[in-house]
Structure 1
């Protein structure tokens, strides 16, 4: 717990612009993933694979066939413009054209780039598991609007983060205008306040970001893994789709 408390307090002192500048820019280094074409795997009768959501042991949210032969993991920050670009340009195609076939599952794991990012990561968890991906996509779709009040009110935001643990994120979200944003998307203000008062849950998110980042070498976002192989330099759908096809999703 002490590790995360230091991490959380450290984020308070860090420049808020970090959340906008922490995106990966490594050169592409495609992994050799080659497989024969994989046949579509039907979903259970009356269901669609894109409606199936499970929380993994890494606190990632997996959409699709849990036993899909091709597993895509994205480490993403909810404050990262490159992640927002992938959400807008690739995530819908990934789900509609690949996850829906049962060949591919898609897991989204949070990487935290500041206190505002940590708050958003907790808020997208406030509803049902099935709302995690849609809420994340909606944050990315209006990223400038979501983050604007944070940067416009940095002093008040920073002061809120000096409050006791159970109060700091509750107060900071009011400064940031997060309650109105999420209330318009089905997460009531009371529900959001309760989530943000749960300091232990937010410590867990922060700890996962730290430990998994170190364990798996995640140094920027978005970072993609396909069947456990890190796809260095792949930042967008144009880079990811050919890898899925080589892995058998064709």
Structure 2
């Protein structure tokens, strides 16, 4: 069985996982107040995005004392709500230099995977704005997925690995959505057909599941520790204050 075939089975299982539910996680430890750090001249920390060794994108001061990580799913309604309510607030905190932010895709289904592949297609400089726009488009995407019907969906997910995400993304309007945001159709199709990239995302999901026993999305790490019972900005803010922000 290929890695991507294994991922298809994993994605089916993850699609049944809770969205916005966490139980039995570890609470982040309290921290001393953190001092602000000025960004490089002529820039802001929220516009400073770097590749990570695991293939994700880190926003902000790479030496920030507080490191916030979100495990999120592009097809999770709670993750969409978190993006809408928290993205600007996170940027404000990142701009202080006290905190960095990293979004790690925790894909739960094949449409989620296709979106994750497209979100990173334009590279690190537009990853976060594009991700926010994909979340904002979630309801429209679901409408197109419903219109696709079971037969259309099954035909897409049954396609060979290099074609699967292309067919799904086309069917639910994601390629056209990306084209309107500066990614050419050819570029989008190449990203969606990138089987090694899909397998890397799948490996990240498996590692996160093993390392943190995630029970839902969104889930958060503060300085490498899974935060207890947090699935929205209102409950995350006090944890960040405890960490020194």
Question: Scaled by the length of structure 2, what TM-score is found?
Answer: 0.92
Cα distance per residue 1:77-125 (max 9 Å; x no partner): 01111111111111211111x1000000011000011000000000001
Q: 2:132 aligns with which of 130, 137, 159?
A: 137
Q: Please list the CA deviations of residues 14-35 of structure 1 after superposition, one character each: whole Å capped at 9, or x if unmatched.
A: 499x37x631323586725222
Contact 2:114-2:166 within 8 A present in 1 as well: no
- Given that 2:45 and 2:59 are in contact with CA atoms closer than 8 Å, whether structure 1 keeps it comes out as yes
Residues 104 and 112 from structure 1, CA distance in 2 versus in 1: closer, same or farther, beyond 3 angstroms? same
Tell me if structure 1 keeps the 8 A contact 2:78–2:231: yes
1:58 is aligned to 54
How many Å separate the matches in 2 of 1:50 and 1:10? 33
CA drift of 1:160 comes to: 2.0
After TM superposition, list the pairs within 5 Å mapping 1:170-185 onto structure 2. 170-185=166-181
Contact 2:28-2:222 within 8 A present in 1 as well = no
Q: What is residue 4 of structure 2 aligned with on the other side?
A: 4
Partner of 1:75, secondary structure, is strand
User: 1:3 Cα deviation (Å)?
Assistant: 3.5
Task: Give 2:147's aligned residue.
Answer: 152
Distance 1:15 1:4, change over 3 A: closer
What is the aligned counterpart of 1:77 among 73, 77, 81? 73
Select which of 44, 61, 66 maps to 1:48. 44
1:122 aligns with 2:117: yes
Q: Compute the RMSD of aligned alpha carbons.
A: 2.1
Q: 1:242 aligns with which of 212, 219, 238?
A: 238
> CA–CA distance in 2 between the matches of 1:34 and 1:163?
49
Any gaps of 5 or more consecutive residues in structure 2?
none
Decide whether the 8 Å contact of 1:76 with 1:222 is kept in 2.
yes
- 1:26-68 deviation per Cα after TM superposition (whole angstroms, max 9, x unaligned): 3586725222222210001111001111122233321000000
Residue 130 of structure 1 aligns to a residue in which SS?
Answer: helix
Contact 1:22/1:113 (8 A) holds in 2: no
Residue ranges of structure 1 left out of the alignment (5+ in a row): none
2:22, 2:231 within 8 Å by CA — same for their partners in 1?
no
Gap change, CA 1:150 and 1:28, over 3 Å in 2: same
